[in-house]
Chains A and B, each alone.
Chain A
Amino acid sequence: MIETIFFEEQISNHPTTERIRKALPRSTWVPIERYQELFNKRHQNFKLQKKNPALILAKKHENFVLPVPSGFGMDSHKNFYFSHMYNCLYDCKYCFLQGLYSSANFVLFVNYEDFFHSISEKIAEYKGKSLTFFSGYDCDSLAFDKLSGFADHALTFFETFPNVELELRTKSIAINSLLQRKPLDNCIVAFSLSPSEIAKSMDSKAPNINRRINAIKQLAETGWKIGLRFDPLIYTSNWKNLYSSLFEEILNGLNPSMLHSISYGPLRFPKKMYKKAASLHPEQKLFAFPMEETKGIVSYGKKIETEMHDFLKSELNKYTSENKIFQCTI
């Protein structure tokens, strides 16, 4: 349970705030003026905070929808992302959020309606073009859903725009809000996955891979389109076997018509984020590998990246057509 909830006074009567208040009556509720006064404070310790994060309920005022950076890897005319939340319930060792934010507290922007208004404007601006909106860039789309109720709002909204795609990216198995409704043809539930051994070592607090695969199969069987995201790819001594087995485990038995897309991307960090993540986990083997730095980006280097790319592409081609496979390079 979340013990402490900081809430901006301006949204204290917002329906989402009231719903969360009813769900968490025993938590300590502390009023604040703006979420930044807490979230952006200096001298916060992300790692310690992660042990008992607080929830911050806030109102987002601008930049509801942003274009995804080039290299994101999907082939819509235009891709956008939005973040109704900052930070994640899980504690994955490779996660860039630990390098991005100084705080591990969860920020939930309760004014979902303003996100949808902004998305409507983008849809109108690019009328007739194929658009995809990604949720789950700065958070996990579903992990917090039981409390936030966001997925249900988003699906109700996107139901009215059948030509526009919504991707919910997640590691969560909290899929009840999806199973309880008719599948949306324009919604892709995209699961982030790593081989079981890697996830066991690095995806702290996240559901294990078997449970994620079960959730995928359950969703696919009920008609939801599935995205598979192998990002970041982790290099380790027997990585080829690990990834081959994982592909086999997921893709054998998954109805190909329910597979929307597969994407993969190498482990990469902006230099500053890498340094911060490594300093938070100095004992982690992930941060002991002799990474290379090119133009401010820390990675395994071209040789390993190419080897991983070539192998993955040829392995994945065994299961699905090339036009469903994308490489993410950011």
Chain B
Amino acid sequence: MSEFKDPKNFAKTQFNFCWVIALRAEAIPIIEAFKMKILDNQSLFPIYANETTGHALIISGIGSIKSAAAATFLKNYLQIKNYTAWINLGIAGFSRDPIGDIYQAVKVVSKESGAVFFPGLRLSKLLPAETLVTVSKPESKYNEPVLYDMEAAGFCELVPSFSCNELTYVIKIVSDTANSSSTLITKNLVRDLIEKQLSKISAVLGQIEILVQEEKRRLSLPDEVEDFEKNFRFTETSKHQFREIYRKWKIMFPTKRLDPSEFLNSQPKDIILQLEKEILINAENWNAL
């Protein structure tokens, strides 16, 4: 466990899903379903993770600001990559019965600031879509035909910048309505409501994982590049140029490998020029299809 706690050890870990959840009672069914273990309960926010299942989870506490802060903390602590999906899951009030129904929030409005967000790719085949209003005090009137929570707006304000808006999801389970007061909510009820939706949540994750894998393929740097770069003194600019030219070179010569020994005593600019030259020679008979 102690080795796992050192954030440096997470640089190579691939977490596909990061959960930001306000309450422990909401988090437990997810922690158990994906076999997560606590990493650090001495930190600002408790963090759970399982490297094998690719899930990490942070308990943020109640409120928009805490949700944004916790997400940021988790991202930095585990050095989360830019292809990871982020999910804010929790209970919500709603104007309609029954409690226990699950929704994807496709429009999130901050009641306080008026800011509007449209998180995620629509998953309408799996979850009905709803508008959600994030409030700073618990809602008891349910006047509008919308969901009410206390975190999503803060989460949506920040999290799309970690990966992208299409990998940012807000999923809510109805816990209280005009006919079922929020005063009746207990830890056991919350746990029960979420547990009953786990199969649907799993189906949703299956869809999101397809997007994660696609982004991972698009954004990941081949090991060959990282290994190669270690042998030379690339500046940030030349590294950027090298990677761009490498991308083209690899498409043109998919079976070739970059061998540092072929570039002994070369400067980054010489390497870039060499790759450019090879591409140019091949371009004349280039099959673009």
Q: Which residues from chain B contact A45 at a C-beta distance below 8 Å?
A: 164-167, 215
Which of A9-17, A36-44, A132-140 lies at the interface? A36-44
B211 CB-CB contact with A under 8 Å: yes
- B164 near A48: Cβ-Cβ < 8 Å: yes
Q: Which residues from chain A contact B248 at a C-beta distance below 8 Å?
A: 287-290
Q: Which residues from chain A contact B125 at a C-beta distance below 8 Å?
A: 3
Q: Which residues from chain A contact B131 at a C-beta distance below 8 Å?
A: 30
Q: Which residues from chain A contact B214 at a C-beta distance below 8 Å?
A: 47-48
The contact of B286 among A43, A48, A237, A280, by CB within 8 Å, is: A237
Which of B1-9, B36-44, B276-284 lies at the interface? B276-284
The contact of A288 among B106, B129, B247, B285, by CB within 8 Å, is: B247
Cα(A280)–Cα(B116), bound, Å:
26
Asked whether A49 and B121 contact (CB < 8 A) given A4-B106, A201-B289, A290-B279, the answer is yes
Separation in Å of the A75 CB from the closest CB of chain B? 32
- B166 near A4: Cβ-Cβ < 8 Å: no
Separation in Å of the B11 CB from the closest CB of chain A? 22
Of residues 1 through 46 on chain A, the ones whose CB sits less than 8 Å from some CB of chain B are: 3-4, 6, 27-28, 30, 32-33, 37-38, 41-45
- B215 near A48: Cβ-Cβ < 8 Å: yes
- B107 near A30: Cβ-Cβ < 8 Å: yes
Q: Which residues from chain B contact A234 at a C-beta distance below 8 Å?
A: 288
A249 CB-CB contact with B under 8 Å: no
How many residues belonging to A are interface residues under a CB distance threshold of 8 Å? 40
Cα(A41)–Cα(B166), bound, Å:
12
> Which interface residue of A45, A51, A200, A280 has the most chain B CB atoms within 10 A?
A45
Separation in Å of the B250 CB from the closest CB of chain A? 8
- A43 near B164: Cβ-Cβ < 8 Å: yes
Cα(A10)–Cα(B75), bound, Å:
40
Of residues 177 through 225 on chain A, the ones whose CB sits less than 8 Å from some CB of chain B are: 197-198, 200-201
B256 CB-CB contact with A under 8 Å: no
Closest to A34 in B: B116
- A4 near B288: Cβ-Cβ < 8 Å: no
B218 CB-CB contact with A under 8 Å: yes
Separation in Å of the A105 CB from the closest CB of chain B? 9
- B218 near A237: Cβ-Cβ < 8 Å: no
A157 CB-CB contact with B under 8 Å: no
Cα(A289)–Cα(B282), bound, Å:
9
- A52 near B121: Cβ-Cβ < 8 Å: yes
Separation in Å of the B158 CB from the closest CB of chain A? 10
Of residues 43 through 76 on chain A, the ones whose CB sits less than 8 Å from some CB of chain B are: 43-45, 47-49, 51-52, 54
Closest to A49 in B: B166
- A43 near B107: Cβ-Cβ < 8 Å: no
A235 CB-CB contact with B under 8 Å: yes
Of residues 205 through 257 on chain A, the ones whose CB sits less than 8 Å from some CB of chain B are: 234-237
Closest to A288 in B: B251
- A290 near B280: Cβ-Cβ < 8 Å: yes
Q: Which residues from chain B contact A284 at a C-beta distance below 8 Å?
A: 251
Q: Mark A113-130, 1 if CB is under 8 A from B, else 0.
A: 000000000000000000
B239 CB-CB contact with A under 8 Å: no
Given contacts A43-B160, A237-B288, 19 further A-B contacts (CB under 8 A): A3-B122, A4-B106, A30-B107, A30-B129, A41-B160, A42-B161, A43-B164, A45-B166, A48-B164, A48-B167, A48-B214, A197-B289, A198-B289, A234-B288, A236-B289, A283-B251, A287-B251, A288-B279, A290-B248
The 7 closest A-B pairs by CB, nearest first: A288-B251, A45-B164, A48-B166, A3-B124, A43-B160, A236-B288, A288-B248
